Chain A
Amino acid sequence: EPEVTQTPSHQVTQMGQEVILRCVPISNHLYFYWYRQILGQKVEFLVSFYNNEISEKSEIFDDQFSVERPDGSNFTLKIRSTKLEDSAMYFCASSGEFRGETQYFGPGTRLLVL
């Protein structure tokens, strides 16, 4: 069964460093998303991406964040200068042809900023 994959599973970084989180969405999906979950809190929407551009972003997704689909299979989230409060689980999700379709999530990347 097709699934969303994410790498790395864990990432430890120093405050101020850049990190890139990688995702391979389900192959025939057209909508891609990033969410995050701070320990003990709700899953929060960060950004959605369609047709090679951002379709919606939350207030959390400020200038420190960027997304890219560098090739036909990968979808990346870059945090330019990490802060302590960026420590969280980051989930990639993808969905099919229509905006209301089910979003399937990857296993997540646990980011720890020291």
Chain B
Amino acid sequence: EDQVTQSPEALRLQEGESSSLNCSYTVSGLRGLFWYRQDPGKGPEFLFTLYSAGEEKEKERLKATLTKKESFLHITAPKPEDSATYLCAVNTGKLIFGQGTTLQVKP
């Protein structure tokens, strides 16, 4: 069965304290792995798409990497405005989402 698991479920960081979020997956027929940001009561906002192992994408303080079994979202020197839930999803023709990591960055 296709499965996506994210860890940790929640993460509290001080402003400037770098960390990584993990997304491990077991799927057949992967057509890409996506990272989204979701603010409370809002729709998922696209961040990155990764298609093959070894691929990396960067945007401001965020960097996403992909291996054959997992993906990491690295957050460097986070700011309070980075506080949100970060969702990982694998594309098998439809998106299968993990449960998300809720990040809180304190000033």
Chain A positions within 8 Å of B, measured between CB atoms, are: 4, 6, 33, 35, 41-45, 48, 55-56, 58, 89, 91, 93, 99-100, 102-108, 110
Contact = CB atoms under 8 A, between A and B. Distances in A.
A48 B49 contact: no
A4 B45 CA distance: 11
A107 B97 contact: no
A48 B93 contact: yes
A110 B41 contact: yes
A93 B34 CA distance: 14
Contact of A100 (B32, B42, B97, B98): B32
Nearest to B30: A100
Nearest to A47: B94
25 contacts: A33-B94, A33-B95, A42-B97, A42-B99, A43-B44, A43-B87, A43-B95, A45-B94, A55-B93, A56-B93, A58-B94, A89-B41, A91-B44, A99-B91, A99-B93, A100-B51, A103-B34, A103-B91, A103-B95, A104-B46, A105-B43, A105-B44, A105-B46, A107-B43, A108-B41
Interface string B70-107: 00000000000000000101010111111110000000
Q: Which among B32, B43, B89 has the highest number of chain A CB atoms within 10 Å?
A: B43
B27 to A, nearest CB: 13
Q: What are the 10 A-B residue pairs with the smallest beta carbon separation, nearest first?
A: A100-B31, A105-B43, A45-B94, A43-B97, A105-B44, A107-B43, A108-B43, A100-B32, A42-B97, A102-B49
Interface of B: 31-32, 34, 36, 41-46, 49, 51, 87, 89, 91, 93-100
Contacts of B87: 43
A82 B93 CA distance: 28
Contacts of B43: 4, 6, 91, 105-108
Nearest to A107: B43
B95 A102 contact: no
Contacts of B49: 102
A12 B45 CA distance: 25
